[in-house]
Amino acid sequence: MTSLIKIAVDAMGGDNSPDKIIKGIINHHKNNKDIFYKIFGDEEKIINCIDNKVDKKNYQIINTLNKVSSDDSPLEAAKKGKDTSMWLAIESVKNKDTDIVISAGNTGALLVISKLNLKMIDNIDKPALSALWPNKKGMSVVLDLGANIECSSKNLFDFSVMGASLYKSLYPQETPNVALLNIGSEELKGNETIKETYKKLNENKLEDFNFAGYIEGNELMNGKVNVIVSDGFTGNVALKTAEGTANFITEELKKALNGTFMGKFSSLLNISNLKKFKKRLDPRLYNGAIFIGLDSPVVKSHGGTDYIGFSNSLDVCCRIIKGNLIEKIKKNI
């Protein structure tokens, strides 16, 4: 019998918690009986939500009344003490009681408390925040998305290795193409840090990924590259721009189709294609940012997602553990 994957869950982070967190666990458990959920939060509220909808052998509740709130600064969150649901969930990974931790809570607090509890992987200087983005052919891993505003060429080289390892963990049958986000595709474009990273990646060929050079912002979704690397400032701007553009297109399409009789009529004729379009841009399908570089994986679910989005981020946790992410990074770095 295979051992259960153990996920530490901060049940008190994000909007409508713990209700949406527990509903996400219930939804995930329907098709994943090989997962054990160690749930940290208000036991009374959690029991009312879980209501015998998850097998008792598949979860444990750690009663934790103190929590990190969304408006706490990272320093305030760390000072709240070691009895918050977020701290205890991370600590359980540190103590090897669980394999991976997930929270929909305060991002800054999660990064700081994770760094306070967990060690860095040898030879990696900075962790990075990564996420999945849709492209024309499937999915891309993008990092860093805001954990590090300033990065050296070594940091960007490490992010390339970590991003490729993450992609390989999630999609074991594929070999990723890695590219550096830049202002042009020519080798001489960009600042000195980018050019130095380009040189390092060109000179150090690794079997787990192909280096594809530079990629510009207008090519992020074309699917030719699976791992896109940048510093945290640039990556965060790119992420927010992509999210805003997707929301703009969706809202404008709704207005066009619902504004006139012909628009409503054409939407009825194309209802199947419109459903596919809506599903393709549904952010819940890509929920779950990954904080990598530490010796245990930390997953950040979007605070505003619903239980479907949280369930999808639990699925990301499972794929990371099954894909041996940490071992892949250690081997390649």
Do 281 and 201 share a structural domain?
Answer: yes
Q: Specify the number of domains making up the chain.
A: 2
Report the pLDDT value the prediction gives residue 124, as an integer from 0 to 100: 92
Do 251 and 181 share a structural domain?
Answer: yes
Supply the CATH number for residue 169's domain. 3.40.718.10
Chain CA centroid to CA 333, Å:
21
> Within a 13 Å sphere around the CA of 55, how many CA atoms are in the beta-carbon half?
11
The structure tokens listed for 221 are 């979704």
Do 233 and 154 share a structural domain?
Answer: yes
In a domain, 73, yes or no: yes
DSSP state of 283: G
Do 277 and 313 share a structural domain?
Answer: no
Q: Tens of pLDDT along 82-132?
A: 899 999 999 999 999 999 999 999 989 999 999 999 999 999 999 999 988
Q: Tens of pLDDT along 295-307?
A: 999 999 988 889 9
In a domain, 331, yes or no: no
Do 151 and 62 share a structural domain?
Answer: no
Do 316 and 253 share a structural domain?
Answer: no
Contacts of 252 (CB under 8 A, 6+ apart): none
Do 85 and 37 share a structural domain?
Answer: yes
Q: Which residues of the chain have pLDDT under 70?
A: 1-2, 250, 253, 256-257, 259-286
Do 169 and 55 share a structural domain?
Answer: no
Do 116 and 132 share a structural domain?
Answer: no
Prediction pTM value: 0.85
Burial code (b: 16+ CB inside 10 Å, e: under 16) for 86-115 equals bbbbbbbbbeeebbbbbbbbbbbbbbbbbb
Do 298 and 282 share a structural domain?
Answer: no
Structural domain containing residue 142: 128-286
Do 132 and 120 share a structural domain?
Answer: no
Report the pLDDT value the prediction gives residue 101, as an integer from 0 to 100: 96
Do 23 and 55 share a structural domain?
Answer: yes
In a domain, 270, yes or no: yes
